[in-house]
């Protein structure tokens, strides 16, 4: 049997051998082995869905093309997700980090300077308002 067909469930449940699964689908297993696979299908919902999906393929000759198409689509989807993830990730360029840190430092310094200037202005206006009434009374 073609190795691509054996790898249909390569990363799935390890309780069943992929070769056994393909033999089950082509009705080449003994009744005991078929019963064991059906029992494990009853216990595992994912495997049951996978076997039902593979059984719905009418032409077993087209199964190879179907598996190749699924693998190609899966690889395209994975590649698309990887590129999207890489685009969202901040690249490790030191100039970018330096610019961000410099802007933050300048913002903090300007905030402190403006705050001190406003406090000094407010204090001087408070002194002016206290001195004027004292001069008016004299």
Low-confidence residues of the chain: pLDDT under 70: 1-18, 58-64, 67, 90-92, 127-138
Cα 26 vs. chain centroid, distance in angstroms? Answer: 37
6/54 Cα distance (integer angstroms): 13
Asked if 51 and 24 touch (Cβ cutoff 8 Å), the reply is: yes
Can you give the pLDDT at residue 137?
55
Can you give the pLDDT at residue 133?
57
Can you give the pLDDT at residue 105?
98
Can you give the pLDDT at residue 3?
56
Asked if 37 and 16 touch (Cβ cutoff 8 Å), the reply is: yes
Can you give the pLDDT at residue 124?
82
Can you give the pLDDT at residue 135?
56
CA distances from residue 64 to 9, 24, 72, 96 in whole angstroms, order as listed:
14, 16, 12, 49
Domains of the chain, residue spans: 3-88, 91-138
Residue 18: how many CA atoms within 13 Å on its side-chain side?
A: 12
Can you give the pLDDT at residue 7?
55
Q: What is the end-to-end Cα distance of the chain in Å, rounded?
A: 113
HEC sequence for 95-131: HHHHHHHHHHHHHHHHHHHHHHHHHHHHHHHHHHHHH
């Amino acid at each position: 049997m073609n190795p691509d067909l054996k790898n249909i469930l390569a990363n799935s449940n390890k309780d069943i051998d992929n070769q056994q699964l393909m033999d089950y689908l082509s009705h080449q297993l003994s009744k005991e082995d078929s019963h064991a696979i059906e029992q494990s299908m009853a216990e595992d919902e994912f495997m049951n869905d996978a076997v039902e999906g593979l059984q719905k393929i009418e032409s077993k000759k087209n199964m190879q093309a179907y598996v190749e198409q699924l693998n190609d689509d899966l690889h395209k989807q994975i590649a698309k997700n990887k590129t999207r993830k890489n685009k969202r990730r901040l690249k490790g360029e030191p100039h970018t980090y330096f610019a961000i840190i410099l802007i933050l430092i300048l913002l903090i310094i300007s905030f402190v300077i403006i705050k001190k200037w406003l406090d000094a202005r407010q204090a001087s206006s408070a002194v002016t308002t206290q001195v004027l009434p004292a001069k008016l009374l004299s």
